[in-house]
Structure formats: structure tokens, C-alpha cells
Amino acid sequence: MLHGYLPAILEGLVLTLKVSALSLAIACVFGLIGASAKLSESRAARWSAEVYTTLIRGLPELVLMLLIFYGGQIGINRLADAQGWGYIDIPPFLAGVLTIGFIFGAYLTETFRGAILAVPRGQAEAGLAFALSRTQVLWRIVLPQMVRHAIPGFANNWLIMIKASALVSIIGLDDMVHRAGLAAATTRAPFTFYMAVALIYLTLTSVSIFVLSRVEARYSLGVKKVQF
Amino acid sequence: MVRTLTAATVLVAALAAQSGAFAQSPDWAKIRIGVEANYPPFSQMSPDGKFSGFDIDIASAICAQIKAECTMVSQEWDGMMPALNAKKFDMIVASMSITEERKKSADFSDSYYDIPSTWIGKTGSFSTINPAALKGKKIIVTRNTPRARFVQDNYKESEVLLVAKEAEVTMELAAGRGDIGFGSSLAATAAFLKAPEGRSFSRLGAPVILGGAAQGGGVGIAMRKGEDALRMKVNAGLKAISGNGVYKTINDKYFDVNIRGE
């Protein structure tokens, strides 16, 4: 199948999934930190979060990736040469995952911020009035309820991120799209390979949409759904 | 929140552990080579995901000749020069033409092959090729190449469609997005003309020689500036395999003409 290139493309798919899943985990961390910072009472935290989301959301992913991967490596090389450490390699996988996670963290910051604001303030205040600690209020009252509001935006970001993961090929990672591109060049059958990749992406995104809609339903148990 | 942060710290630490510092060998017993697989038959990917082709074979032959242990590093064409200068690898064997512009950011070995460029289009579409005949026509050429430069300098009245990779010249041509392509007379072009979708196309006009090995043109192996020891070693290796028949064996495996260009 696929001129014998199916296993090679599936290997690429594994990398695509690894990059996407790890990037998502990192993006969630950045997103939660960013959202807490934006809603924090500290002016410095609010400002740094503002700079983060403005800068990252305003720059193309490709530019950031090249800046961090090559720029970062050249910077590290200069430092290493000056200190006499020899060559220190930034592995492309690490750079790719961190960059994509960092970028989508900025989008998730906004998603999470909106979702936290959607939880009525009175609920957190009631929790505090019952002598729960701030952490307890966050974990038991705010987070479970914000998930419901965060899922639609989160799903959007995840879908865009799976597709954006193809950018890692520019920094030397062999993801599915890169593999398909090489196979297309070698066999001169671009349509076959790009069609196959399109179908795989469509499967991935459809499964994601299904799973996330179940998650949303689970977190909306306490809320009545309007039937038309 | 705290739990999330701890998980993230562990994750980042685990990822960082994968990266080890390793010392560069000054005697060049170990060489990392940047290659790609987008330019058949010079470089391509076999179904098992391994890279093969003329460039790969030449790189391996030189390594064997100079008794270096070589690792091939896969790299997209667009990131080749940045990756070389960021020390991701030590040299590029990817059919890279030696140009004045590229010499500003890298040193080159002696040319290891030099093939003429060719015009390609619908059979009989142009009887003569010159700036007047191609006025207002769309020429397809790979960006960041001497060929693109040649077209932009000499065919100022024509439209130019710049594509990212050599293989796309014929893809775009077959898709009807340009009137004529300007590409390598081997590589993509030769294979395309033999393929079913290339049946109604042919080479047009005379082959064009840009620069050539005599003027320091041709295709070379790029290395970081100032790595003279490596460059001399590679040049010696190239000279040896050209003399002892190894080059000829590899040449004949892929082409029916000699592309050494000396």
C-alpha cells in the first residue's frame, strides 16, 4: 500500500502524535500559569502574562520555531565555546515540543482565563467563607467548573495544534507530513501521499472531537442542556 | 496546580536528559553529515524510511576513503545552512551548488559534480528560448538556487514562479501553473520525462551551463567557515575516489552520462 511507504508514514504518525501530546501537556502548563498570572493581583504577573500572550500570538509559529531552535543553538554554542564546554546539542524533539507548547500555551492562557471568569465569583467566595484554603477553592470549586467552559476553546486549540505539529519538520524532525513529502518526491505521486495524510489527520481530528465532546458532556452533568 | 507543575518539571527534566553533550573530535574521525531526501535520484527515501541516492553514496564513499565514522542527519532543505552553522552537523552533502552568496556563510569542498541546467515544457511549445520568446510567460524554478538567479537576472520580462524544491518544478509544470520550467537536466527532470504525467513534455532549447566547475561553480560539500582541516580531508577523499574507480561505479549506478564535470 502507498507504494510500500505505509510503514514509513505510520512511523511519522507516531512522532506526530508524540509531539502533539507532549506539546499539549506543556501548553496546558503554560496556559494555566498564564491564566493565573493574568487574573492575579500582582501587577508584574499581569504584565508579564500580557507580554507573553501578545508577543507569542502575534508571531508566526514558523518564525518562533526557527528563532528558538537555530537562534537558541547558536546562543548556546557561543556560551559553550566561551566556557570551553564543547558542543551541547539541543535535540530537535525537545526544541519542537517546547516551542509548540510555549506557543499554544499563549492561546490556552486566553481560553483558560475566559473559562475561569465564567465561574461565578460568588462560588469561590462561598468556598473561602467556609474556610477552604485558596488551593482547595481552586482545585475543588473553580477548576472542575471551568473545564466545561474551557473545552470548546481547548478543542479548537488542540485541533490547530495537531496540524501545526507538521512545522517540526523544518527543524529536522521526521514527522508524518515530512515523510509523506519525501515519499511523494521519491515516487512522484504527491496526490496519493498527501491524500493519505489528509485522511489520517481527518481521522485524528474526528476522534479528538468525539472524545472531547464526551468530556464536555461529563463536566456538564450539573447543568441542564437546552433542548430545542 | 502544584501537581501539574511537578509533572511538568519531571517531563522537562526527562526530555533534557535525552540531550547529552558530546565533544567534537578535532581529528574528524567522526563526522555528522546533513542530508535530505527530496531530490531523486541524488537523494530519496526508500519505503523503509532510509535515505539513499547519489549524494548519500558519495558521502559514504568519501567517509570510507578518509576512514571517518559518519552519521547522516536528516534535514529539510530550507534549514540546511542554519543547521550547519548551528553545528547540528559538520557538512552538507545535498547537491548544493557552489555560489558566491553561499560562500559568504560556508566554505565548500571541490565540486563533486556539475550538470547542465535545462528548459522543460510542453513538447513544441517554444522553438527558441530567449528573453524575448519568454516575455510575459511564467517560468518555474527552485528558489535560492543559481538557476533562480539566472532566470531573475536574464528573464526580467517574464513572470517567475519560485518553488521550494527541485521536484516541484515538474509537479507545478504538470499541474499547468507555469509555461516553462528551468531545472537540472538530470534529477527531477529526467525521471519526470519518463513518467506517465511527463509524456507530453520534453526538454526545450539547448542545455545551459551556469558558472561551471572551472569558475568555481558546480555542486560541492558545504562546511562551516574556517574548518580547513575537514575541507582538506574531504577534498583528498574526493580526489581519491575519483581516481580509483569508486566514483565511476556510483556514477554509473544512477546515470548514463558522466557527471563528474572535471
Give the burial string for B151-183 (b: 16+ CB within 10 Å, else e): beeebeebebbebebbbbbbbbbbeeebbbbbb
CA distances from B249 to B61, B73, B122, B246 (A): 11, 24, 34, 5
User: What is the spatial distance between Cα A216 and Cα A209, in angstroms, rounded to a whole number?
Assistant: 10
% of chain B surpassing 90 pLDDT: 55
Q: For the residues B58-73, what does the mean pLDDT come to?
A: 95
- Provide the number of structural domains found in chain A: 1
pLDDT at res. A87: 81
Whether A227 is in a domain gets the answer no
Cell of B123: 513538447
Instruction: Identify which has the larger pLDDT, B32 or A222.
Output: B32
C-alpha dihedral, A86 to A90 to A92 to A98, nearest 10°: 180
Q: Is the Cβ pair A171, B37 closer than 8 Å?
A: no
Please state the φ and ψ torsions of residue B259, each to the nearest 5 degrees.
-105, 10
Inform me whether the C-beta atom of residue B49 falls under 8 Å from chain A C-beta atoms: yes
β partners of residue B203: B120
Instruction: Identify which has the larger pLDDT, A147 or A227.
Output: A147
Whole-number average pLDDT of chain A: 90
Q: Which residue of B has its CA nearest to A139?
A: B1
Q: For the residues A200-213, what does the mean pLDDT come to?
A: 95
With contact defined as beta carbons under 8 Å apart, do B238 and B250 qualify?
no
pLDDT at res. B259: 84
Whether A189 is in a domain gets the answer yes
pLDDT at res. B14: 45
With contact defined as beta carbons under 8 Å apart, do A117 and B46 qualify?
no
Whether A18 is in a domain gets the answer yes
Which residues, 6 or more positions from A121, have their beta carbon under 8 angstroms from its beta carbon?
none
pLDDT at res. A227: 65
Tell me which residue of B59, B99, B44 sits closest to B212, measured CA to CA.
B99
Instruction: Identify which has the larger pLDDT, B256 or A205.
Output: A205
User: What is the spatial distance between Cα B257 and Cα B115, in angstroms, rounded to a whole number?
Assistant: 10
Inform me whether the C-beta atom of residue B73 falls under 8 Å from chain A C-beta atoms: yes
User: What is the spatial distance between Cα B80 and Cα B76, in angstroms, rounded to a whole number?
Assistant: 7
Expressed as residue numbers, the domain containing A31 is 2-219
Q: Which residue of A has its CA nearest to B83?
A: A70
User: What is the spatial distance between Cα B68 and Cα B56, in angstroms, rounded to a whole number?
Assistant: 15
The one-letter amino acid code at A117 reads: L
A 79-138 residues with CB < 8 A to B: 80, 85-91, 93-94, 97-98, 135, 138
Domain at A185, CATH number = 1.10.3720.10
Q: Which residues of B touch A172 (CB under 8 A)?
A: 73-76, 79, 83, 88
Q: Which residue of B has its CA nearest to A72?
A: B86
Q: For the residues A80-106, what does the mean pLDDT come to?
A: 88
B 25-44 residues with CB < 8 A to A: 37-40, 44
Q: What angle do CA A57, A59, A62 make, to 5 degrees?
A: 115
Radius of gyration (C-alpha) of chain B in whole angstroms: 21
Q: Which residues of B touch A94 (CB under 8 A)?
A: 15-16, 18-19
Whether A225 is in a domain gets the answer no
Q: Strand B51-52 to strand B44-45: parallel, antiparallel, or no bridges (unpaired)?
A: antiparallel
Say which range, A45-49, A89-93, B230-234, has the weakest mean pLDDT: A89-93
Whole-number average pLDDT of chain B: 85
pLDDT at res. B214: 55
Has residue B257 got a pLDDT over 90? no
C-alpha dihedral, B241 to B246 to B248 to B251, nearest 10°: -100
The one-letter amino acid code at B39 reads: Y
Instruction: Identify which has the larger pLDDT, B241 or A76.
Output: B241
Residue A73 pLDDT class (50, 70, 90 cuts): confident
Inform me whether the C-beta atom of residue A171 falls under 8 Å from chain B C-beta atoms: yes
Q: Which residue of A has its CA nearest to B194?
A: A188
% of chain B surpassing 70 pLDDT: 86
User: What is the spatial distance between Cα A51 and Cα A48, in angstroms, rounded to a whole number?
Assistant: 5
% of chain A surpassing 90 pLDDT: 60
Q: Is the Cβ pair A90, B37 closer than 8 Å?
A: no
Half-sphere exposure of B217 (CA within 13 A, CB side): 14
Inform me whether the C-beta atom of residue B16 falls under 8 Å from chain A C-beta atoms: yes
Q: Which residue of A has its CA nearest to B16?
A: A94
Cell of B32: 555528522
- Which of the given ranges, A39-48, B44-53, B97-106, has the highest pLDDT on average? A39-48
Three-state DSSP state, B219: strand
Has residue A43 got a pLDDT over 80? yes
Sheet of B69-74, strand order: B69-74, B30-35, B91-97, B219-223, B107-108
Give pLDDT tens digits for B116-165.
788 999 998 998 899 999 999 999 999 988 889 899 999 999 999 999 98
Cell of A156: 479548537
Whether A112 is in a domain gets the answer yes
Inform me whether the C-beta atom of residue A169 falls under 8 Å from chain B C-beta atoms: yes
Has residue A61 got a pLDDT over 60? yes
pTM: 0.74
pLDDT at res. B4: 45
Instruction: Identify which has the larger pLDDT, A26 or B101.
Output: A26
Whether A226 is in a domain gets the answer no
User: What is the spatial distance between Cα B194 and Cα A3, in angstroms, rounded to a whole number?
Assistant: 18
User: What is the spatial distance between Cα A2 and Cα B133, in angstroms, rounded to a whole number?
Assistant: 41
pLDDT at res. B187: 57
Whether A46 is in a domain gets the answer yes
User: What is the spatial distance between Cα B219 and Cα B112, in angstroms, rounded to a whole number?
Assistant: 6
pLDDT at res. B212: 60
Say which range, A52-66, B64-78, B174-188, has the weakest mean pLDDT: B174-188
Inform me whether the C-beta atom of residue B165 falls under 8 Å from chain A C-beta atoms: yes
Has residue B5 got a pLDDT over 60? no
Cell of B49: 524510511
Tell me which residue of A100, A122, A137 sits closest to A25, measured CA to CA.
A100
Inform me whether the C-beta atom of residue A29 falls under 8 Å from chain B C-beta atoms: yes
User: What is the spatial distance between Cα A48 and Cα A33, in angstroms, rounded to a whole number?
Assistant: 11
pLDDT at res. B213: 55
Q: Is the Cβ pair A172, B22 closer than 8 Å?
A: no
pLDDT at res. B232: 95
pLDDT at res. B17: 42
Give pLDDT tens digits for B18-58.
444 444 556 899 999 999 988 888 999 988 888 999 999 99
Whether A163 is in a domain gets the answer yes
Domains defined along chain B, listed by start: 29-114+214-254 (3.40.190.10), 117-211 (3.40.190.10)
Q: For the residues A123-144, what does the mean pLDDT come to?
A: 92
ipTM confidence: 0.74
Give pLDDT tens digits for B190-212.
778 888 888 899 889 887 877 66
Has residue A108 got a pLDDT over 90? yes
